[in-house]
């Protein structure tokens, strides 16, 4: 187990290095830079522009800019925003709670919808409920997040006036916070619920066909006991694995939903950084999100290895 843990830990390093290189280069492939974003394309004083490029280090060759940034990164410094002058890490930590709240809420929505529906669909295979659940999951997989978000805003905010359409609660109570959170969480959790429902259904069907389930029925155990103690516990292992991976992906996947609902999270910060060519903000945020995603995948991989002895033995 220790050997496997060390091997998986070493694989994280090249992944993060590759992500740092890609994030550094891709943002610089976009036409323009922070100087032209601040001053406009028609600014007429080349001397001031050259001085600002020197101040931000943009006059250096790209490889020198990368090694300077990467050296600071190894010391835990993600850089300073060219727009606000604030450390990028501080800005990330300010917005991280909002993104985590949205991601965890969306995951909770997905769990509450998908697991019961997946179990019912598997236990009533080929029945009317199974057919309806599969159609609903197919719709959930097919509908884009941004379109679903706009539709929910139109129905529940514009037409009915039940929920706020944008923003987050500032200093309100629990109920007020929940009202702002409902629409973005449902929008983000819908596609996850569809994926997990199908995963739960297929996993449950596989377990129900195992010999130990048939043996339990032959011994006369109640169907409820068979489902809870035998089928459900074993069928949820792959589902829990997928949920853990989705939590890591959700942090980066909230970008579009945050834009639709003007949610003050990391996604909004990345979009703002791209539009303003704020290189340190974009590079630092993308690397942070990638690190979190890789970390969650790494932890899920270790947990799954611990739960399944066959992976530890190499079979």
Closest CA to 37 of 230, 249, 273, 293: 273
* Three-state SS at 87: strand
From the first residue on, what is the mean pLDDT of each consecutive set of 10 residues in the chain (315 residues)? 63 79 81 69 66 78 84 83 84 86 87 84 79 82 83 86 75 70 86 84 79 74 70 73 75 77 83 82 85 78 63 52
- CATH code of 114's domain: 1.10.3720.10
Q: Is residue 283 part of a domain?
A: no
pLDDT of residue 249: 72
Q: Is residue 104 part of a domain?
A: yes
Those residues with Cβ within 8 angstroms of residue 195's Cβ, 6 or more apart along the chain or in another chain = 114, 137, 141, 242, 246
pLDDT of residue 3: 64
Structural domain total, the chain: 1
Buried b or exposed e, range 153-174, using 16+ CB within 10 angstroms? beebbeeeeebbbeebeeeeee
Q: Is residue 247 part of a domain?
A: yes
Q: Is residue 9 part of a domain?
A: no
Q: Is residue 310 part of a domain?
A: no
Q: Is residue 36 part of a domain?
A: no
pLDDT of residue 7: 66
Domain residues for the domain of 225 are: 91-264
Q: How many CB atoms lie within 10 A of CB 202?
A: 16
pLDDT of residue 42: 56
Q: Is residue 150 part of a domain?
A: yes
Q: Is residue 59 part of a domain?
A: no
Q: What span, in angstroms and rounded, lies between the C-alpha atoms of 144 and 160?
A: 23
Q: What is the pLDDT of residues 113-125, one digit of tens each?
A: 888 888 888 777 7
């Amino acid at each position: 187990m220790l050997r496997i843990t060390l091997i998986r830990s070493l694989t994280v390093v090249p992944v993060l290095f590759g992500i740092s290189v890609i994030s550094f280069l891709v943002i610089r492939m976009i036409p323009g830079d922070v100087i032209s974003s601040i001053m406009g394309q028609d600014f007429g004083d080349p001397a001031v522009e050259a001085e600002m490029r020197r101040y931000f280090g943009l006059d250096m060759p790209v490889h020198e800019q990368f090694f300077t940034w990467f050296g600071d990164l190894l010391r835990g410094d993600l850089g300073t925003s060219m727009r606000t002058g604030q450390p990028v890490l501080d800005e990330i930590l300010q917005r991280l709670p909002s993104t985590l709240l949205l991601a965890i809420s969306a995951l909770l929505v997905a769990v509450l919808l998908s697991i019961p529906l997946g179990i019912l669909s598997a236990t009533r295979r080929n029945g009317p409920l199974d057919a309806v659940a599969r159609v609903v999951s197919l719709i959930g997989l097919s509908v884009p997040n941004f379109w679903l978000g706009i539709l929910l805003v139109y129905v529940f905010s514009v037409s009915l006036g039940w929920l706020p359409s944008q923003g987050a609660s500032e200093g309100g109570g629990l109920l007020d916070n929940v009202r702002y959170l409902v629409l973005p969480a449902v929008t983000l959790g819908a596609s996850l619920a569809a994926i997990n429902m199908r995963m739960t259904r297929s996993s449950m069907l596989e377990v129900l066909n195992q010999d130990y389930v048939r043996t339990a029925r032959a011994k006369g155990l109640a169907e409820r006991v068979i489902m809870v103690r035998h089928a459900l516990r074993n069928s949820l292992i792959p589902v829990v694995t997928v949920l853990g991976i989705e939590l890591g992906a959700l942090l980066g996947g909230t970008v579009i939903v945050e834009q639709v609902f003007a949610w003050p999270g990391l996604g909004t910060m990345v979009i703002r950084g791209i539009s303003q060519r704020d290189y340190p903000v974009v590079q630092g945020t993308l690397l942070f999100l990638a690190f979190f995603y890789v970390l969650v995948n790494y932890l899920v991989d270790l947990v799954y290895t611990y739960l399944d002895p066959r992976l530890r033995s190499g079979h």
